[in-house]
């Protein structure tokens, strides 16, 4: 299966998109490979692309008093985008960086707007991406309100099973809102159970 066919299959599963509607987008998708540490989008830049991750892991983070705070991880078969910046076409408040070598297929904002005008199926895709982004952001906020660090750790493992193979522990601890030693204790307890 080619990469574009794989993306088409994901679009069908995610948004019920038929092959004819997906074919409208074929000329717009471009492929890009990132080196570890390369930015998908930087702070104060406008996010112009929505990407589909073929392989690799990205993180979204901000800096607070020179300390990096990880907010999101994105991995294979997920969309990577600085969503608020992308939708509003205003500067981003975060950095999005590749944590590994990574490859994406991406589409430019203007091309996606054109597809929205051409097809109700693409409009549905846009709505579902917005709903998913909202769900991810709300779930993340609620996890800090209602879940223990151990529960957040288990949720991270469920959503990104290979995260520990690709991301340094201090980034994972930052994402969970804990210090490195606390993460070590959680991992030790989990391995015993």
Q: Are 152 and 143 in contact (CB under 8 A)?
A: yes
Domain locations in the chain? 3-146
| pLDDT at residue 193 greater than cutoff 90 | no
Q: What's the confidence (pLDDT) of residue 192?
A: 79
Q: What's the confidence (pLDDT) of residue 32?
A: 98
Q: Where would I find the H helices in 24-119?
A: 83-88, 109-118
**106-135 pLDDT, tens digit each:** 999 999 999 999 999 999 999 999 999 999
Give the predicted TM-score (pTM) of the model: 0.92
Q: What is the spatial distance between Cα 31 and Cα 34, in angstroms, rounded to a whole number?
A: 10
Q: Where would I find the H helices in the chain?
A: 3-15, 19-23, 83-88, 109-118, 120-146, 149-159, 163-166, 169-176, 180-192
Q: What's the confidence (pLDDT) of residue 47?
A: 97
| CATH code for residues 3-146 | 2.60.120.10
Q: What's the confidence (pLDDT) of residue 1?
A: 87
Q: What is the spatial distance between Cα 163 and Cα 76, in angstroms, rounded to a whole number?
A: 11
Q: What's the confidence (pLDDT) of residue 149?
A: 94
Q: What is the spatial distance between Cα 10 and Cα 52, in angstroms, rounded to a whole number?
A: 10
């Amino acid at each position: 299966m080619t990469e574009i066919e794989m993306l088409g299959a994901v679009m069908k599963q995610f948004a019920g998109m038929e092959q004819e509607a997906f074919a409208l987008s074929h000329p717009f998708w471009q492929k890009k490979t990132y080196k570890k540490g390369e930015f998908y989008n930087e702070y104060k830049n406008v996010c112009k692309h929505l990407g589909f991750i073929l392989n690799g892991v990205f993180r979204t983070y901000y800096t607070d008093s020179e300390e990096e705070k990880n907010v999101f991880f994105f991995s294979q078969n997920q969309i990577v985008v600085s969503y608020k910046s992308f939708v509003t076409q205003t500067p981003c408040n975060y950095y999005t960086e590749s944590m590994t070598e990574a490859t994406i297929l991406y589409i430019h904002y203007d091309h996606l707007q054109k597809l929205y005008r051409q097809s109700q199926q693409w409009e549905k895709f846009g709505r579902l991406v917005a709903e998913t982004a909202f769900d991810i952001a709300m779930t993340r906020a609620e996890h800090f309100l209602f879940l223990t660090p151990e529960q957040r750790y288990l949720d991270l493992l469920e959503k990104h099973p290979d995260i520990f193979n690709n991301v340094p522990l201090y980034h994972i601890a930052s994402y969970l809102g804990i210090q490195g030693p606390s993460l070590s204790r959680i991992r030790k307890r989990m391995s015993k159970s």
